[in-house]
Structures are given as structure tokens and as C-alpha cells.
Structure 1
Amino acid sequence: MEIKGTPEQHGYWMPAEWESHSQCWMGWPERFDNWRDNAVHAQRVFSKVATAISNFEPVTVCASPAQWTNARSQLPPNIRVVEMSMNDSWFRDTGPTFVVNKSASGAQNLAGIDWNFNSWGGIDDGCYKDWTLDVRVARKILEIEKVFRFPHSMILEGGSIHVDGEGTCLTTEECLLNKNRNPDMTKEQIEDNLKKYLGVRKIIWLPRGLFGDDDTNGHIDNMCCFVKPGVVLLSWTNDKSDLQYERSIEALSVLSNTTDANGRKLEVIKLHIPGPLYMTDEEAAGVIQDGEAKPREPGTRLAASYVNFYIANGGIITPQFGDEKWDNEAVRVLKETFPDYEVVKIEGAREIVLGGGNIHCITQQQPAIK
């Protein structure tokens, strides 16, 4: 079901995350060299996330043959569990980027972009040395759903882009211009490909992502996201001694001095980060370090951000890190920002960030077609 040419040539574009979904896709964690204590804590939180989302829209969780029975036993019956091999469970980055178009009759069609993937940086800089299973995840999902596929040789992860559905894309130079992704492509070439594949007309480049987000080299979904056209949430800190402060100020300057694809000035809502939070000795000791995955060292600053939430059909699924002050503040800001949505708190989301991401990173929305 491969389509020749680019999505743009066939009239496809990437919808905003707040547009209606037919379902959400997730993977099931099991890597003992990334998730502590054989992933039992991470699996419990992944189950919480999947269950919360399933109250708003259908959810499919993909689990390896060795983990299918375990995943099925931990998830409620209304969640579909599909057997699928994978290297790890970051479906925002390994799953397809779904796009839609509109036929002459007005009906919509669905397709998916199957980007190339190199474990966030390849053999030297990536998070694990073997990603041969992950590179097939997007194609498998599209075949399960019998959805048209646009293959692309450019290396790109879904967490590195965020769109408003009206022609604007947010990303970071720190990630997309990193030489461990597409060293032979210029900024202009990367931008041109984003426009052709996402159906956008303008790219807003933030210089850097969240401080400490070394696994992904600064994915945008930890730093900034659209909440509606013309409005973004930005990871923020009031602490001038925090190394994140400079990055937030830098991003605010860019966002305050640009417009979206339709000429609107952007409204920036600040969403304070937790902590700072650091990996404990106990947490690091629970990870079996065998040299196949990126080391998890005690004292490492965790890339924790409340921007890393998921927008479901009528629900905001948001991480809580055990930092009461900023957990509560994040919920307040999100309720104010999304007055028509139910904000659902996921306690224990620290377990996900220990592995290198959060709720947005482990989910991938499939748009509903009208």
C-alpha cells in the first residue's frame, strides 16, 4: 500500500493533535537495560496511561511475543493488545506520522509517513545499538490498519515535530540539524522535506530543547507544543541559576518575534518544569547495564517536562512527577488552557522519564477520518 511521490503531491497534511482520533497506539516496555527492575514499574505506569486514554478513545498496545500475555493481563479488556516485535516502546518516534487528505467528494483519506530511524543518533550517539525491529514498527502499524504508506529515507522522530494543523510546524535546531541524523542535508533541505511531507508552509525553529534531554538531542515535545492555532505552551523555569532558564528565555525570544503560517503572532503560555529531578542510586542500580543501551548513571538530570502530555478526544493525559508544587501548578495551567477537556493526572510518571521520555513520547495518535 505504498504511495509514490510526497504527501503534498497527493494533498495530504498532518492534523493537529487536538483534532479527533480514531485510536491511540502504544508499545509495551521490557528492555532491562533501559527500564529498571525488568520494567515492572514502567509497565505499571504504561498501563495507567493506556487505561486513562482508553476512557476517551480506543487504544492499541503492541507487545513482543515474550510480553504479550503479561501486557494482556495488566491492561483492561477494552484495550486491544497486538503482538509486535520492537527494540523499545517509544511509539511517538518509531510509529508512523499520520496524515489526511480530502477527496473531491469531501471525504477524507488516511495515510502514514514511515520515516527512517536510527535510535536517536546512530551507533555512536544513539540510545541502543540495534534498532532493526524499531525501524519496521511504522510499516507494521500501517499494514495492520490497511493504511497507505509514504516511505521516506530521511531520519526523523515524531517527537521532534509539532504542528498546528494549519500550516505551521515547531521543531528544534538542536535535534533536526544534529549531524547524527541527516549529515548530508542542509537546513533548507530538511525544511523543504518537512513542508512536502507534513503539508506545512512555515517551520518555526527553536534553537534548543529541554536541558538534559540528551537521549533525543532536544525533541520539541519536551520543550514546546501548540495547544491551538496561534497559542503554544513553553517549558519554563523562574530559577535563573537553572541551566534550563537560558534555554527557555532563548525560546521565548524566538516565539515572541515570529508569526505562524497564517501571520498570527504567537501567544506563549509558560508551563513551569518540575524539580530539577535527578536519577537516584537505587533507580540506576535497577537497570542492567550491558553495553547495548545508553548508560543510566546515578545523579543524571532527568528530562522532566509537563509539556510532554497527550491530547485525547476530550482528555489531557498529563504526567505527575511527585513534585507537589509544580505538579499542581501544571494541572492548574492545563485546566485553564484546555477548559473543555478533562485533565487526567498520571501519578508515577517519573518511571517513564527514567527511560528517557514521557507520556507524549510513548503515544501516537491516529486521526479519525470524516
Structure 2
Amino acid sequence: MRYFPAEFEPQSFVQIIFPHPESDWAPYLEEARECFVNIATAVARYQPCLIVCDDVGLVKSYFKNHDNLVFIPYQSDDTWARDCSALSVIDEEEEEPLLLDFTFTGWGGKFDATRDNALSSSIAKVYGAPMEKVNLILEGGGVETNANGSLLTTAECLLNPNRNPKLDKKGMEHELKKHFGVEQILWLHHGYLAGDDTDSHIDTLARFIDTDTIMYVKCDDKNDEHYDALKKMEEELKTFRDIDGEPFNLIALPMCNPTFYDNERLPATYANFLIINDALLLPVYNDPHDAEAIAICEKAFRGRDIIPIDCSVLIRQHGSLHCVTMQFPEDISLRVE
């Protein structure tokens, strides 16, 4: 059997991929780099941060302090570490960690992802765990675990014909249970964010913050295009039960005001937070709801520091804080030469 560690469990390090001139960040590269520096610096206060980058010397110069920062060279296509990084499981029979290197196709072939897909295997030497190549298209932002047998996802993403067209719902459930060792799949059939390229990744909509609790995005503005879909998502979440038949505790996060760039609505969401050891990195957007989201998280994540990170530039490329990071559990060490 396998065990899929949850994000709220103890971690070894967090991985990011630093923006470079050949990435889509080029039009506002320095703004993007400032945001990534803020994220990595915040992580490094609590645990190591692995920074994958095209030019180690240059990227090091962006940081005043290198404590808890590890740099490794790799020329990526882009910087969405959540979706092209390996996912971590524990092989309970062997009592050892295992990295699962799923296939990344740029969210169903929307963008070239050849180098990003090869990233994990190319830097495998830095991980203190074996890696298994998995012939299944899957992104880390598409799955959430509660560390107690449940996996939360969206039908719009995992059952989309642009991912694994030969797999129906039953087939996909079989693959998820096999690779992650979970007992049940909780499928959301409602909820989306305008401007999202991922076909409704779960980490933009609803997140496990502990074994029994789901934090999710709620829209109270009946004039907002998201109102109906997110209302239906909320009703769907209320029907979910854990493997013992108990309902989950639900905590609502506010919906940001409509945010635009180049006349396009952007997927600003507070659900795209990152849980690390003793802290929560919360994306904020200079939005009137920022303070409310911070207050909700301060109450929900007692014992963790709440660190707001301005992610206004990240959403211009249709992602946010969680999308550009990947955590690794304490069982997987970071090998530093």
C-alpha cells in the first residue's frame, strides 16, 4: 500500500522554478522575480527552499541571504512547479518514500511543456528518494489529499479528454487509488475561475487544511459570473463524507473582486495558499477582501504564522502562489553537494 502525505503534514523542503527571460514572464520579468524572491524568502524562514533556475549565479544575486536556499541549474519552459514537479508518496511495505513523475503536457497541450515534463527526472539526483515514471497525465494542482484515505479533485480537469482520453471515471479512479493509495475519490462537478488555464484545478477552488476540514472559495455577489457555479460547488461539498461517513468541516474564503489585465479577467483566488512547517503563505491581490481572507486564515490555522504574499503579478499568467511551489514531505531529503 501507498500513503499520500498531505500538505499540512511535516515537510522537508519546498521547490520553486525561478522566472527567466524565455518564460512567459518576459514582459514583466523583474516584477515576477520580486514575487518569487518573496515566496522563497518566506519559505526559507521555516525550511529549505530548492530554487531551480537557468542561471545560478544571477539568481543568487537576487537574494540578500542564502540561508536555507539551495540552487540547481535547469532550463525550464516555465515556472509552474506545482504541475511539473514529482508528487511524493510513501511505500508502506518498503517503508520508504517514492517520487511519482507523472506526464505534464502543458494542461492538455495548451502550451509547450517538453522541458518542464523532463524537469523531475533531470534533477532527480537532488532528491533523497527513488523516482518512478508514471505513464499518466496528471498535475499536482489537480489533486488534494486529507491524509486519511480521501482524494479531492474536479471532474472538469481529471476527466477532461485533453488529459487521458482513454480513461473514463472508473478507470481514472483505479489509477488514482493505485498510485496514491487512497480509498475514495471525491469529485467536484461544479466550480471554476475565469482566466484559469488548468481546466479547474482543485487548488484554485477547495483545499484540505486538515484531515476533517475543507477550505473553499465562496462568491456572495449574485451579479458575478461565478456565483451560480460556486454556489453549486458549495452544495456539493456539503454532501461529501470522509471514509468513516462523517461530513467535513467547511470554511469559506471570500471571492476577490473582478481583476483584469489586458482586458482579461484573472483567476485571483485565496484558496491557492501554501501550507509549510509552522506557517501559511497566503496569496493576496491588493483587493478589499485581503484583510478578510487573512483573518479567516488566522482563525483556521492556529499555531501557524500567516504570511501574506502579494501575488498580483502571478495571476497575470493565470496562476498564483500554490501553483508556483511544490512541497516535499519530511521523508524525502534534499541532497546538497
Q: Give the TM-score normalised by structure 1.
A: 0.86
Deviations 1:80-130 (A, max 9, x none): 1110121111111000001123457xxx421111001110011xxx1x2x3
The reply on whether 1:177 has 2:159 as its aligned counterpart is yes
Rounded Cα–Cα distance in structure 2 between residues aligned with 1:240 and 1:214: 21
Deviations 1:266-322 (A, max 9, x none): 11111012111111xxxxxxxxxxxxxxxxxx1111001001010010000011100
1:211–1:243 CA contact under 8 A, matched in 2? no
Structure 2 residue identity aligned to 1:326? H
The reply on whether 1:198 has 2:187 as its aligned counterpart is no
Q: 1:36 offset after TM fit, Å?
A: 4.9
| TM-aligned CA distance change 1:69 to 1:181, over 3 Å | same
1:87–1:134 CA contact under 8 A, matched in 2? yes
| Alignment of structure 1 residues 1-370 onto 2, 5 Å | 11-31=1-21, 34-64=24-54, 67-75=55-63, 76-78=65-67, 79-102=69-92, 108-122=95-109, 126=110, 128=111, 130-279=112-261, 298-323=262-287, 325-347=288-310, 349-369=311-331
| TM-aligned CA distance change 1:63 to 1:209, over 3 Å | farther
Rounded Cα–Cα distance in structure 1 between residues aligned with 2:123 and 2:329: 14
Q: 1:198 offset after TM fit, Å?
A: 1.1
Q: 1:251 offset after TM fit, Å?
A: 1.1
Size of the alignment, in residue pairs?
330
Rounded Cα–Cα distance in structure 1 between residues aligned with 2:314 and 2:124: 26
| TM-aligned CA distance change 1:98 to 1:141, over 3 Å | farther
Rounded Cα–Cα distance in structure 1 between residues aligned with 2:36 and 2:230: 29
Structure 2 residue identity aligned to 1:211? L
| TM-aligned CA distance change 1:100 to 1:141, over 3 Å | farther
Q: 1:143 offset after TM fit, Å?
A: 3.0
Deviations 1:124-173 (A, max 9, x none): xx1x2x32111111223433214212211111100000100111111111
2:143–2:151 CA contact under 8 A, matched in 1? yes
Gaps of at least 5 residues in structure 2 are 333-337
Rounded Cα–Cα distance in structure 2 between residues aligned with 1:231 and 1:314: 18
Rounded Cα–Cα distance in structure 2 between residues aligned with 1:154 and 1:318: 30
Higher mean C-alpha displacement, 326-335 vs 210-219? 210-219
Rounded Cα–Cα distance in structure 1 between residues aligned with 2:252 and 2:83: 25
2:279–2:307 CA contact under 8 A, matched in 1? yes
Rounded Cα–Cα distance in structure 2 between residues aligned with 1:38 and 1:32: 12
Q: 1:38 offset after TM fit, Å?
A: 4.8
Q: SS at the partner of 1:112? A: strand
Higher mean C-alpha displacement, 38-47 vs 133-142? 133-142
Gaps of at least 5 residues in structure 1 are 1-10, 280-297
Q: Give the TM-score normalised by structure 2.
A: 0.94
Which is strand-richer, 1 or 2?
A: 2
Rounded Cα–Cα distance in structure 1 between residues aligned with 2:202 and 2:275: 16
